[in-house]
């Protein structure tokens, strides 16, 4: 790796982090506690994502154009005891996975967003809609009066499927990371980043497709020929929509346009996971509360013990602590994404390529100036 002493100095406010990235480091600084927190929380997150992606896939395929899907969170297994657990909230909060899906749908990006505006998608969606409505004269009438309603539902279901496929890969990647940590193979933050980066590269060209079966016949909504792939058409738009932009949490800011509390341009949104203040976690109307509640069920013993050793509040602020660890882990995932899209090799000795890399990294750091990145530079629980 080329030393930072061989490169021009940067005047960026986060120059130290840029130098760290250029020399093979990560957005999150190295420390044994950081490694423990990141791997432990990604173990829990991997378990939750495993449930999320299966439900998203079930909704996209088995609940296709079911307009009142009362049991969509049951994955086809409806029972009285399960219904009681659902009402008692003793369950996985699948609402959060839909929250992330809607963020991707609204912010768009990548060829998936472009494909869903093509005549090809419209034709394929209409073929599936007509098959689904066959014999349903009421819905045929509704579709005639509101011709854009059902195609928009299919568009949304396409995002259900795409996000499910993305999380399928990420879940396996995080659980494998935990297994490697248990075997002593993961010892540093750089090891974590390399594991995620290698996983992203390995799955980069994995095709994103979407098919549904209606009355015994298969309909391709997103065929392989559309050329959609895992990295550029789900991973990158996901990072943009969920890590960076997302939505303002209802109840924390005014949605009144005259109040000017929300940027008029969605590209300026900074409500994503990398920006969220952990303290409101646990409050009503804060969607990440659902994720933190889900992850607390799967915390490995060593991470729960770590929290107990560093807390005077017991488990009363457990969701906040989980959120802090989760943000640290997401900065590691973001590091892998940033390095994976670097315009030139990190160890290049060509001045022009180094300059291009520096400009690229400074652009990312400018976006992260107001994020939680400065806060995670100090190892605290």
* Residues 27-72: tens digit of each pLDDT: 999 999 999 999 999 999 999 999 999 999 999 999 999 989 999 9
Distance between CA atoms of residues 8 and 347, nearest Å: 15
According to the model, what pLDDT value does residue 6 have? 66
Q: Give pLDDT < 50 ranges for the chain.
A: 1-4, 381
According to the model, what pLDDT value does residue 379 have? 58
Distance between CA atoms of residues 254 and 144, nearest Å: 37
Structure tokens at 111: 């060829």
| Contact in structure between 118 and 25 (CB atoms under 8 Å) | no
10 closest CA partner among 363, 362, 365, 347: 362
Distance between CA atoms of residues 272 and 265, nearest Å: 15
DSSP-assigned letters across all residues of 275-303 = T--STTTTSTT-THHHHHHHHGGG--HHH
User: pTM for the complete prediction?
Assistant: 0.93
Which residue's entry shows tokens 């346009």? 257
| Contact in structure between 357 and 343 (CB atoms under 8 Å) | yes
Residues 6+ apart with CB under 8 A from 309: none
DSSP-assigned letters across all residues of 209-240 = -EEEEETTEEEEEE-GGG--BHIIIIIHHHII
| Contact in structure between 92 and 294 (CB atoms under 8 Å) | yes
Distance between CA atoms of residues 98 and 109, nearest Å: 18
According to the model, what pLDDT value does residue 257 have? 84
Residues paired with residue 222 on neighbouring β-strands, in sequence order: 210
- For the chain, the maximum distance between any two Cα atoms, rounded to a whole number of angstroms, is 73
* 3-state secondary structure (DSSP) of residue 257: helix
* Tens digit of each residue's pLDDT (9 = 90 or more) over 296-351: 999 999 999 999 888 777 677 888 999 999 999 999 999 999 999 999 999 898 99
| Contact in structure between 230 and 202 (CB atoms under 8 Å) | no
According to the model, what pLDDT value does residue 2 have? 46
Structure tokens at 126: 């209409």
According to the model, what pLDDT value does residue 241 have? 94
């Amino acid at each position: 790796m080329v030393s930072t002493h061989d490169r021009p100095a940067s005047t960026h406010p986060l120059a130290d982090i840029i130098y760290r990235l250029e020399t093979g480091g990560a957005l999150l600084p190295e420390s044994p506690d950081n490694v423990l927190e990141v791997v432990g929380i990604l173990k829990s997150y991997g378990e939750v994502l495993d449930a999320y992606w299966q439900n998203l896939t079930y909704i996209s395929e088995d609940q296709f154009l079911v307009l009142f899907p009362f049991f969509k969170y049951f994955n086809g297994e409806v029972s009285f005891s399960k219904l009681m657990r659902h009402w008692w909230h003793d369950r996985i909060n699948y609402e959060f996975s839909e929250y992330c899906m809607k963020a991707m749908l609204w912010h768009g990006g990548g060829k998936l967003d472009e494909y869903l505006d093509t005549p090809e998608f419209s034709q394929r969606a209409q073929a599936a809609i007509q098959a689904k409505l066959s014999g349903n004269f009421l819905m045929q009438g509704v579709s005639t009066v509101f011709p854009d309603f059902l195609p928009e539902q299919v568009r949304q279901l396409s995002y259900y499927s795409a996000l499910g496929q993305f999380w399928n890969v990420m879940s396996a990647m995080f659980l494998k990371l935990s297994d490697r940590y248990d075997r002593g193979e993961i010892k540093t933050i750089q090891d974590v980043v390399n594991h995620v980066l290698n996983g992203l590269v390995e799955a980069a060209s994995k095709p994103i497709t979407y098919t549904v079966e209606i009355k015994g016949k298969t309909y391709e909504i997103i065929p392989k020929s559309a050329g959609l792939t895992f990295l550029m058409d789900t991973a990158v738009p996901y990072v943009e929509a969920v890590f960076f932009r997302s939505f303002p949490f209802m109840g924390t800011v005014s949605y009144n346009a005259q109040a000017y509390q929300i940027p008029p341009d969605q590209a300026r949104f900074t409500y994503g996971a990398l920006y969220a203040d952990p303290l409101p976690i646990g409050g009503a109307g804060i969607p990440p509360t659902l994720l933190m509640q889900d992850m607390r069920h799967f915390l490995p013993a060593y991470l729960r013990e770590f929290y107990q050793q560093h807390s005077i509040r017991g488990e009363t602020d457990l969701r906040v602590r989980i959120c802090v660890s989760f943000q640290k882990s997401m900065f590691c995932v973001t590091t892998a994404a940033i390095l994976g899209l670097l315009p030139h090799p990190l160890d290049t000795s060509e001045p022009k390529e180094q300059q291009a890399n520096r400009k690229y990294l400074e652009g990312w750091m400018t976006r992260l100036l107001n994020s939680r990145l400065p806060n995670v530079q100090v190892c605290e629980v």
